[in-house]
Amino acid sequence: MFTVTRSADSGNDLHHNLQRLINLYEKYIRQYPHEFLWTYKIYKYSKEREVLIISDGKTGHLRQSEGAAKLIIQQLAVRGIRARLIMREVKFRSTLSGYFLGWMAKFSGKYQGHGCGMRYLRHALNPKSWQELMNSRPDIVISAGSSTGVVNYLLAKENQAKSVVLMRPGNLSLRKINLVIIPRHDKPPKRSNVVITEGALNLIDKEYLIQRTKSLEQSGLLQGRLLNSCIGVLIGGNSKKFSLSPEAVVGLIKEIKKSAEDLDADILISTSRRSSLEVEEVIKNEFANYARCKLLVIARQNSNPDVVGGILGLSSVIVISPDSISMVSEAVSAEKYVVVFKSDNLSAKHQNFLKNYQNKKYIYMEQAKNLSLRINQLLQDKPQINSPKDKI
C-alpha cells in the first residue's frame, strides 16, 4: 500500500510523493523485469498482422509453409486485415543444442515464467538467427518439420502469437501448438487443433501457374517455340531409403523420348538440388542436343524460381520421381496428369502417401519400362483429372 504524505507545502508534497512512488516502481521493476519489458505486441486488434515463416533451410518445408501462409493471408483479407509476410531461416549452434532445446520445451509447463524459454533459445541458436528472430514481432508463426517446431512454440509464446506447425513438431506435444497441419500418411491423431490434409500444402493454383509460366517464357530458358503438347519431367534425388541410379535414368529417358516421338510432343525437364552429379551428367548428355527438349535445367546450376511452376503450367502430363512428397503434391495441385515411376526403395511413409494418391486417382503409378504406354494412353483417352482440395 502507498500512503500519500501531506504538509503545508503542496508543491514540495507533490515532488516528494512522486519521488517515493518512482522509487517503489524501480524496486519492483528490478525484482521482476520480465513483467515490465514487454517484447511482444500488447494490442492485437489492429487491421495489420505480421506472419512469420521459420525455415529450416529445406526447400520442401519452406514451400509447405508458404502454402499455409497463403491460405492464412487470404482468410485475413476476407476479414479486412492486411498481412505482412516475412521469412527467417534458423540455424542452431550445434545438433546437440537443438536436441536439448526440444527436450526442454517438451517438459516445460504451461505457466513457465515469461521469457525463460527465450533464454534457452538464445543459447541454442547461432547469434545471427537469434538476432533476426528478436527483430520480428509476429502475430502468427508458421513452420514445417520437427527441428523448427520448438522454436515456433517458444517464439509464439513470447510474442503472444498464434503458432501453426506443419507435420509433427518433433518431441513437442501437439497441445502446445494452436494449429497443427498433418498429412494423412503421417497418421495424425483426432484433435480439435489438428487439420488433416491429403498431401503437402503448396502455392500451386491457377493464378500461380499463369504467373510462373509467363515468367519462364520471358526468362530466355526455353529453346524455341513449343508445340501443342508438352511432357514435363521433374527428377528428384537420393534420400535415406531412395536412390536413383544413372542406369535407371537412362531407361526412364528412353521411354520419355519414345512417348514424345509418338505424340509429337516437346519435353521440359528439370533436376532438383538433391539430384546426384552422375544423374545430372546422364540427363545433360541425353537432352542437350535433343531437338524435342525445349527446356533443360540443372537445378544445382540454375535456381530460377519459375522453372517448376512454369513446367507444371506448360505441360499436359508430368512425369515425376517418387522421392519427394512436396514435389508430387505440387504436381497434383496443378491439375495435370501426373505419372510417378515406381520404386521399391521408399520409406513406409512415402509408400502410404503414394498409395493414397493412387487409390484416389490423383496420380498414376507405373514401372519405368511402361511409361511411354501410360503417357500415350492418358493423352489419347483424356480421363478426368482429380486433385485434392486441401484447405485449412
One domain, residues 106 and 230: no
Q: What is the pLDDT of residue 33?
A: 76
- 218 and 298 part of one domain: yes
Tell whether 327 and 349 lie within a shared domain: yes
Asked, for residue 390, whether it belongs to a domain, the answer is no
Instruction: Cell 496428369: give the residue.
Output: 337
Asked whether residue 160 falls in the same domain as residue 216, the answer is no
DSSP string, 316-359: SEEEE-TT-HHHHHHHHHTTSEEEEE--S---HHHHHHHHHHHH
CATH of the domain at 107: 3.40.50
Could you tell me how far CA 77 lies from the centroid of its own chain? 21
3 in a domain, yes or no?
Answer: no
Task: Compute the distance between CA of residue 365 and CA of residue 231 in angstroms, rounded to an integer.
Answer: 16
Angle of helix 59-78 relative to helix 325-333, nearest 10 degrees? 40
Same domain membership, residue 368 and residue 220: yes
Q: Give the pLDDT score at 384.
A: 96
In a domain, residue 391? The reply is: no
CATH number at residue 283: 3.40.50.2000
Helix (H/G/I), strand (E/B), else coil: 10 = helix
* Residue 51, phi then psi, degrees to nearest 5: -105, 120
> Is 231 a domain residue?
yes
Of 142, 170, 197, which one is at a domain's C-terminal end?
197
CB 40 within 8 A of CB 137: yes
Same domain, 172 and 223: no
Grid cell, residue 202, equals 503448396
Structural domain of 69: 48-197
What pLDDT does 112 receive?
Answer: 47
Compute the distance between CA of residue 114 and CA of residue 112 in angstroms, rounded to an integer.
6
Instruction: State the pLDDT at residue 113.
Output: 44
The domain boundary residue, chosen from 137, 164, 197: 197
- Helices in the chain by DSSP H: which ranges? 10-31, 59-78, 95-106, 116-124, 127-134, 149-158, 206-218, 246-263, 277-287, 307-314, 325-333, 348-359, 371-381
Which of 325, 337, 323 shows the shortest CA–CA distance to 249?
A: 323
Burial code (b: 16+ CB inside 10 Å, e: under 16) for 96-118 equals ebbeebbebbeebeeeeebebbb
From CA 196, how far away is CA 186, in angstroms rounded?
A: 9
Same structural domain, 139 and 283? no
Inter-helix orientation angle 149-158/95-106, to 10°: 60
Residues 118 and 219 in one domain: no
124 domain residue, yes or no: yes
Residues 237 and 177 placed together within one structural domain of the fold = no
Report how many domains make up the chain. 2
**What is the pLDDT, as a whole number, of residue 30?**
85
Look up residue 88 and give its three cell numbers: 527467417
Domain boundary among 147, 171, 197: 197
C-alpha dist (Å) from residue 184 to 56, 199, 340: 22, 7, 19
Inside any domain, residue 388: no
pLDDT for residue 292: 95
Q: Closest by alpha carbon to 238, among 114, 364, 322, 340?
A: 322
Q: What is the pLDDT along the chain (392 residues), one digit of tens a residue?
A: 778 888 888 888 899 989 999 998 888 888 877 666 665 566 666 789 999 999 999 888 999 999 999 999 999 999 999 999 999 999 999 888 877 777 776 666 544 445 567 788 888 899 999 999 988 889 999 999 888 999 999 999 888 899 999 998 887 889 999 999 999 988 899 999 999 999 999 999 999 999 999 999 999 999 988 977 999 999 998 887 788 889 999 999 999 999 999 999 999 999 998 899 999 999 999 999 999 999 999 999 998 999 999 999 999 999 999 999 999 999 999 999 999 998 878 888 889 999 999 999 999 999 999 999 999 999 999 999 999 987 55
Do 358 and 305 fall within a single domain?
yes
The pLDDT value recorded for residue 309 is 96
Listed in sequence order, the DSSP H helices in 45-184 are: 59-78, 95-106, 116-124, 127-134, 149-158
Does residue 29 sit within a domain? no
Q: How long a stretch of residues is the chain?
A: 392
Same domain, yes or no: 174 and 256: no
Please report whether residue 10 resides in a domain: no
pLDDT at 172: 84
